[in-house]
Amino acid sequence: MNNKVKLLSMCMLSTSVNATQIFMKGSECRLDESAQPIELFTQSSDSIYAVAGRDPSSGQVRKVAGELSDDVKLKLFEMLSTKAQAYPHGVIVDRVVLKERLKDTSKEVNVSGRIVAYPVTTCETSEVITAKNYDMITATSFSGKTQRITFNVEIDPNRNAFVRKSTQVDDTVISQKQVFGIELGDTYAVAEKKVGRFTLVWPLNARQKLATIGRNHALLFENNRFVGYQYAFNLLPSSLANLINIYDINLASHIQGEAIEITNAALSEKMVAAIKSDFSGATFYQEGKYTKEPKTKLSGLQVGEFNVTKPVALSCYKGQSDIDEFVKQHQQSLAQWQNVDAKTVFYTGCNQLVELNKLGKVTSVKLLESWSLSNANLIGLADMKSVLSPWEFYGVRYLDPENKASLIGDIEDFYGTIEVTAKQWVGHFKSYDGQLVSAEFEKM
């Protein structure tokens, strides 16, 4: 786009579209449930001129694609600004998908963009997108205090359950009978009430349920009663841990009548002996083992009985039905957690990560490779992994050849990334040696 034309367009917007605000994704707003979502589409293309008929270089393609992406962001902002005037309290961006492709035997680059936004009724903490920062239409608002995305409500898959929930562990002292104020024998409901919410919940079988707080603390429930707890410095596989929210807890234990922190702290010989006495199976490691002053730290411990028995396979989505209906029907038999963006996600039995928006609707699906169990110490993890199968999505399977991606929709190879466009999905596959290994799909 000509820079003068772009500047003129921005100036016109700044003077004519001021009545209604566009709030950045992640702003703390309450949605107008009576209004329909706003969905918009636009695209932009440009030719690439190569020397002596040669194919353009990757750098040339990326430069043109970058300029077109900026143009598409501006167009989306202009279109949304016009639509937003119908809503006096403004709109919030829910998701934006930009898709790049090469056309006409690598002589033209095309970038298309889709945006979904929701009208709002009020906003408490918010970041506003204007003509001066329109390129932030694809960005997410962060809280200045926590550096985490902020939301007004915690979304349960039940559309009627708009309840504010957050994890809050106030009692960090543990004993042989109690963890975080939760006593052995407490019901799941009582336990959840005491900590606000669990980070991850995994229905293991008809009798057992696993719940974690952050990435290092696991609680086991049997017949709806709290029966065991495990702490481990490396509890979960890194590929799984990286997907869930962090919640750090400095455990403390009563040693000689005083509550003393036992995690993330150097432990004396007396403290180690006291911990071993109170918690059978407690393990330790040496930090700086080969230095002059190595520090002994807690590696893991258990409370109660922590025995995972015969996990069952989680339900798997293969494209056989509408994915929102699949989540609604199978939510009790899926692993669920809060991801690093503070959104609710479900994990299926074939390594699919399903993300929901504020209205409890599916927005994206990630097809993931299997976890590595190295350095992961969660009891029963190997059995849990054994009931997970490789991903399958609309007839495409893990390690299928690249051309099988066409079973989902139209495909294009954009410099090593297999892009897929279908009626309901826009996605990108990653491949290795010509085989599909993982993917990310946005639901349109």
Which residue ranges in the chain fall short of pLDDT 70?
A: 1-19, 49-55, 58, 103-106, 125, 141-165, 341-342, 358, 415-416
Pairing of strands 200-203, 154-155: unpaired
* Average pLDDT in the chain: 84
Distance of CA 50 to the CA centre of its chain: 40
Nearest to 243, CA basis, from 217, 204, 214 = 214
Q: Tokens standing for 52?
A: 């002596």
25, 139 contact by CB (below 8 A): yes
Report pLDDT for 326: 95
Pairing of strands 91-103, 200-203: unpaired
Report pLDDT for 415: 66
Report pLDDT for 170: 92
Report pLDDT for 12: 42
For residues 99 and 43, give the distance between their C-alpha atoms in angstroms, rounded to a whole number. Answer: 9
180, 226 contact by CB (below 8 A): no
pLDDT tens digits, 287-323: 988 888 899 999 999 999 999 999 999 999 999 889 9
Report pLDDT for 2: 46
The pTM of the full predicted model, rounded to 2 decimals, is: 0.71
pLDDT tens digits, 153-191: 333 334 333 344 688 999 999 999 999 999 999 999 999
Query: In one letter, which amino acid is 96?
Result: V
Report pLDDT for 103: 63
For residues 384 and 309, give the distance between their C-alpha atoms in angstroms, rounded to a whole number. Answer: 10
Pairing of strands 91-103, 22-23: parallel
Kindly state the greatest CA–CA separation across the chain.
83
Nearest to 21, CA basis, from 126, 105, 136 = 126
Report pLDDT for 104: 55
Report pLDDT for 163: 42
